Amino acid sequence: MNETPEERREAAKIRRRWISLGEAVAVAAVLISAATLWNSYAERKSTEADRAATAQKEGKVEAALVLRARPADDGKQLTIEAVDPDQVIQSQRLILPAKLNVKPIETAGDARIEARWLSDALKESGLERTNAGDLRVPIAIVSRFTSKGEMHSAAAVYQLAYVREGHLLGGSSIKLRGLSLVSRVPESQAQKAVDRVWSVKR
């Protein structure tokens, strides 16, 4: 049966409509697939960012070093340890005010401050003959320590408390009492920070 020209034109229109509809469905499918892929990617990135932020926060908590100092040998030294039992001090650098003209003191494996170090510093600076009683001097402590197997570093300025005791036959001696935290500082700024506290104290 032969189609008339009018029927052929109508059939062509129908085919074009089906092709257009098929193309629209295909485009819609591509858009839906792209949107699903993007949502999955965005959700994964958000989850990764949350995990990274949590890990960073936990790392900062683990790396926050709090020191405990205890007098030993009748005040001749302070033994220093981390309050957190998971943290182990490996080495320390002790920085006194520049006015005392003392090079930074390094310790390794046996974290401590010895009274003779302070006494020698005061002698060299001419400040040994100050009033007796409870006294303080700022000190910066730069620590290297491990926390859960990872190496960290921390720097802070403390007030080193000590007492000078006069002797019956003249002279005096220093006994160390403890440490009190002033502020945490960047390691590169430790000397400047302790000098600033010293200048205010004086």
pLDDT at 24: 62
Distance of alpha carbon 99 from alpha carbon 145, whole angstroms: 29
In the three-class reduction of DSSP (H, G, I as helix; E, B as strand; rest coil), residue 50 is classed as helix
Encoded amino acid at 30, one letter: V
Going by their DSSP bridges, the two strands 67-72 and 77-82 should be labelled as antiparallel
| Radius of gyration in angstroms for the set of CA atoms belonging to the chain, rounded to a whole number | 36
**Exposure string (b/e) for 91-118, b if CB count within 10 Å is 16 or more?**
ebbbbbbeebebeebebeeebbbbbebb
pLDDT at 28: 65
pLDDT at 180: 93
Distance of alpha carbon 5 from alpha carbon 10, whole angstroms: 9
Here the tokens at position 113 are 């401050």
pLDDT at 151: 93
pLDDT at 58: 44
13-56 pLDDT per residue, tens: 666 666 565 666 665 666 677 777 777 766 776 666 655 554 45
pLDDT surpasses 50 at 76: yes
* Per-domain boundaries in the chain: 1-63, 65-201
What global pTM score does this model have?
A: 0.66
C-beta separation of 107 from 95 below 8 A: no
pLDDT at 69: 95
pLDDT at 49: 60
Across 62-66, 104-108, 151-155, least confident range:
62-66
**Starting from the edge strand earliest in sequence, which strands make up the sheet with 150-166, in order?**
105-108, 87-95, 133-147, 150-166, 172-184
83-112 pLDDT per residue, tens: 999 999 999 999 999 988 889 999 998 999
Using left for φ > 0, alpha for ψ between -120 and 50, and beta otherwise, residue 83 falls in alpha
Mean local confidence (pLDDT), 190-196: 96
